[in-house]
Amino acid sequence: MRPWSEGEPGKIGANGGHVDAAGLESWVQGRLAGQRQQIDRLLAVDGEKTLENTLRPYDDAVATLSAAGSLASLLDSVHPDKSVRDKARELTQTVAEAATALSLNQEVYRALASMDATHADPATAHYVSQTLLNYRLAGVDKDEATRARLRELSDRATELSLTFAKNVQENVNQVELRDASELDGLPDDYIGSHPPDAQGVITLTTDYPDMQPVMTFATSAELRLRMFRAYNTRAYPANRQLLLDLLTVRQRIASILGFASWADLATANQMMGSAANLKRFIGDLEQASRAGAEREYEMVLAFARRQQPGLKALRSSDRGYWYEQFRREAFAFDSQSVRPYFPYEAVEKGILETAARLFHVDFERIKDAGVWHPQVSAWDVHDQGRQCGRFYLDMHPREGKDKWFSAAPLIPGIEGRQLPEAALICNFPGGKAEEPGLMQYSDVVTFFHEFGHLMHAILGGQQRWAGVSGIATEGDFVEVPSQMLEEFFHDAKLLASFARHYQTSEPIPEALVERMNRASAFGRADGVRTQLFYTSYSLDVHNRPPQELDPDTLLEEGYKRLLPYEWIDGNRMYASFTHLIGYSSNYYTYMFDKVIALDFFGQFDRSKLLEGPTAMRYRRAILEPGGSKPGTQLIQDFLGREQKMDAFAEWVGEEFAGTPADR
């Protein structure tokens, strides 16, 4: 069955045409009415509660809410028409309120708890167990007045979160230049795509394709500083108070539920288990990365001082540039040298071909699918000739669109009933006929990372139950498949299969890839520290009394504790750090899952990454189960043991291989 048989995401219009606000409202409200009917059917059961008469209608309601909320959230993030985005944001709030009401419905909870699941298969038993746990964590066992208060607080948290994200999405800062020499060091294609206007003003934005090259290549320290401040003050000051309000609401919810902090509540149903365990994890990685990060910094600072005698320290805005310059000398690698081999269209084709070989699937572009913008493409996924899902690629920036990189599950697959669908929302160079869209190597890695989420959603979306379909594992397992795929693109042979010079069609030279890999390895300890800074901040703001919290002071203190660079006054990074909304206190997921991902990648034969048997074993053990097993069981199934830190320690240690010690 086609999930969008009653309206694809680009065709939810009042008269079946392209999406408009009225059509979207009608579509979502229809789904909410259907969800209420499904719950009524569940509650109407008189007598024995079974999987078929109780869990099935409950799961149908979950699937309906998921589809309605996902479509509304997607269009809020990507639709070019502000009126549609505003309506989508309003409806996202409405769906979230319905989900909260369901999570606090005692009658539904009692019905699920009284089911006879004695003979349930393991996946169903896991689903029931996790569902009942999540009900208890939501406060379903509280009295009516308390549950009403929890509903009120949850709805307020959703409202604050959506407004925070809206402010980041719609507030793009600009940096204006009147002297073209400030662009010195930037690639020619970048300079060519930013001509001065009639008044001689060159305008750069804080969108990623504008910002990242400046921070990496611009020789002007003043330009880098201006861009840093512009990028890290997006949505400030509005989001400062919104964040404080949200933290207050979350703490009140945690307190009502008997938890000391939101961080304890948010980790209670995760592999991590508690805020105390999370603190220990951060401490272990902080200790393991300290010496390497200090050594890296001193090496880069000494190099910078040779170029600029008298330089006392490196500022936050200097990091990307001086690491790039150091790598050019220490490893004979200029990251601009690989950009001509990564034009966007070739990268997209290469990633699709790589994924097809790795996961034994086929992709077919669908020309007449309903999409929300002409830049968007739709693709069907086929497994041994059978369609198993669909995804959408929305890959370039535009006004009003979400400015980050993410994978968005849209439709939870249900075996024999509906196919899974998902979308990638990215902001890579390209998308214009006159531009090749030359990507940095890190962009290519990011693309494959996000595509890993997409494949998890599709291949894991073949479950009996929507509630465990696709990316439905514990939240601190979801980054494992995507981070594991990042390691594939260090392989010179694999890169050469699609990385060809956009003018000469010459494949990327193996020697260049080798230098790139050595250069890319340098800075890993510093990268770990940067992730720990984000992780610690996310934990700290959710693990302290909100009334005592100053987000600016905490940001500066955490930065100075974990990073060696000179602090820049006016840094309001938290105001645009949308992971505080989505992951809340659990940003640790990225580092936690990096450890697991590297252990997984160590099982592959480096000489035949795509052809060996490990790829299919990985697909069967990790991707296909979706959320039907605990994360610890998925790890055990693939590795045949518990995870280890060995691969991570080796990965961090590779950074100094071949680096002259005296540089």
Of residues 493, 520, 492, the one with CA closest to residue 657: 520
Residues 57 and 182 in one domain: no
Q: Is residue 594 part of a domain?
A: no
Domain boundary among 231, 259, 275: 231
> b/e per residue, 491-502, with b = 16+ CB within 10 A?
bbebbbbbbbbb
The per-residue pLDDT for 19 is: 87
Residues 81 and 132 in one domain: yes
Residues 408 and 458 in one domain: yes
pTM: predicted TM-score of the whole model, two decimal places:
0.93
Residues 33 and 86 in one domain: yes
The per-residue pLDDT for 9 is: 82
Residue 406 sits in a domain whose CATH number is 3.40.390.10
The per-residue pLDDT for 391 is: 97
Q: Could you give the CA distance from residue 391 to residue 380 in angstroms, rounded to a whole number?
A: 7
Residue 60 sits in a domain whose CATH number is 1.20.1050.40
At residue 406, the 3 state secondary structure works out as strand
Domain boundary among 231, 246, 269: 231
The per-residue pLDDT for 360 is: 96
Q: Could you give the CA distance from residue 177 to residue 329 in angstroms, rounded to a whole number?
A: 30
Chunked into runs of 10 residues, the chain (663 residues) has average pLDDT values of: 53 68 96 98 95 97 97 96 96 97 97 92 97 97 97 98 96 95 96 96 96 97 98 98 98 98 98 97 93 96 96 96 97 96 97 97 95 96 97 95 93 96 96 90 96 97 97 97 94 96 97 96 95 98 95 98 97 97 97 97 93 94 98 98 92 67 43
For the purposes of burial, counting CB atoms within 10 Å of the CB of 284, is it exposed (0-12), middle (13-18) or buried (19 or more)?
Answer: exposed
Residues 354 and 503 in one domain: yes
Q: Is residue 245 part of a domain?
A: no
Number of domains in the chain: 3
Domain boundary among 210, 231, 252: 231
Residues 131 and 181 in one domain: no
Listed in sequence order, the residues at least 6 apart from 13 whose beta carbon sits closer than 8 Å to its beta carbon are: 19, 20, 23
The per-residue pLDDT for 200 is: 96
Residues 195 and 129 in one domain: no
Q: Is residue 507 part of a domain?
A: yes
In which element (H, E) is residue 213 found?
A: helix 208-217
Q: Is residue 92 part of a domain?
A: yes
- Domain residues for the domain of 448 are 340-521
Cis-peptide into 237, omega within 30 deg: yes
